[in-house]
Amino acid sequence: MGDFEFIEDKTQDKKITVNKSTYNRLIISIVLVSIVSAFLGGYVIGGETVEPKEIIIRETVQNSQAKQTAQEQFGPQIIRNISLDDDPMRGNPDALITIIEFSDFQCPFCANFHQDTLPQLEKNYISTGKVNFVYRDFPIQSIHPNAIPAALASECADDQGKFWEIHDMIFENQGTWQGLEILQSVSLFKQYASEIGLDAEEFDSCMDSGKHLEEIRNDLDDGRDYDITGTPGFFVGNEKIGFTKLIGAQPFASFQRVIDLQLSK
């Protein structure tokens, strides 16, 4: 699967309104995200993703070709000790196989995965109890200025037990908010929270305080430790057999091949 053209659906546009009673809180949000961008500036390297490709290992310029040849001959590297942290999980906590995704809400390839491939994984593996799915944040703020506000919105929704509801809404409406000014995107995320029935005062306070910035930073640190340099990035497996790494918006068949092999062990 290669790059694809992302076309904004004009029918999904929503009028953004900012009334005086919320203006001060939104200004706080702008300042907050500016600070976060400066704070995280050295944390993320690379673009939003690369072409979906075979599993990769840590490389240097000098030895990358040798490692690639070895990988082709002996198969993908099995990576161990990939942390689930305490991030949102979809499916049976006791499932034999876990898929851990490092993702960016503003990355179009991540949206493509969540709209096309994840429903197939849900139908064939997650809903059957064989696989669970963990979402971890990897916002690439250098090219996606609204990724951190989106990540904060999802974490704040998780506090009220509705992570997946706002997760789906944010990805489904990516074309609406990705090009907005931060002021407007924060306002829109608060509208989404209201639409899914979250307590507005609690959600707004969580967003404006940056309550979950440290959690997002921890996810970024772990992703960097695991050689995530673009999104989406996946680890499939468990602690016993290890995790296979997949990079890019892989089609369902790529996950199916890895999962079926792991389940057969």
Cβ pair 191, 14 in contact under 8 A: yes
- If DSSP states are collapsed to H, E and C, what string results for the chain? CCCCCCCCCHHHCCCCCCCHHHHHHHHHHHHHHHHHHHHCCCCCCCCCCCCCECCCCCCCCCCHHHHHHHHHHHCCCEECCCCCCCCCEECCCCCCEEEEEEECCCCHHHHHHHHHHHHHHHHHHHCCCCEEEEEEECCCCCCCCCHHHHHHHHHHHHHCCCHHHHHHHHHHCHHHHCCCCHHHHHHHHHHHHHHCCCCHHHHHHHHHHCCCHHHHHHHHHHHHHCCCCCCCEEEEEECCCEEEEEECCCCHHHHHHHHHHHHCC
Question: Which of these, 216, 91, 102, lies nearest to 156 by C-alpha position?
Answer: 216
Q: Which domains does the chain have, with CATH numbers?
A: 19-263 (3.40.30.10)
* Strand bridging mode 78-79 / 242-247: antiparallel
Kindly report, residue by residue over 113-123, the tens digit of the pLDDT: 999 999 999 99
Burial class of residue 221 in the structure, from the number of CB atoms within 10 Å of its CB (0-12 exposed, 13-18 middle, 19+ buried):
exposed
Residue stretches of the chain with pLDDT short of 50: 1-18, 20-23, 35, 38-75
Kindly report, residue by residue over 217-265, the tens digit of the pLDDT: 999 999 999 999 889 999 999 999 999 999 998 999 999 999 999 999 7
Please report the pLDDT score of residue 28 as a whole number. Answer: 57
Please report the pLDDT score of residue 128 as a whole number. Answer: 97
In the structure encoding, which two tokens stand for residue 132, read together? 């669970």
pTM of the model: 0.76
For the chain, the farthest-separated pair of C-alpha atoms sits apart, in whole angstroms, at 64
Please report the pLDDT score of residue 237 as a whole number. Answer: 96
Please report the pLDDT score of residue 81 as a whole number. Answer: 83
Please report the pLDDT score of residue 31 as a whole number. Answer: 53
Helices 20-39 + 147-159 axis angle, to 10: 110
Please report the pLDDT score of residue 244 as a whole number. Answer: 95
Q: Could you give the CA distance from residue 42 to residue 48 in angstroms, rounded to a whole number?
A: 15
Q: Could you give the CA distance from residue 249 to residue 3 in angstroms, rounded to a whole number?
A: 9
In the structure encoding, which two tokens stand for residue 43, read together? 């944390």
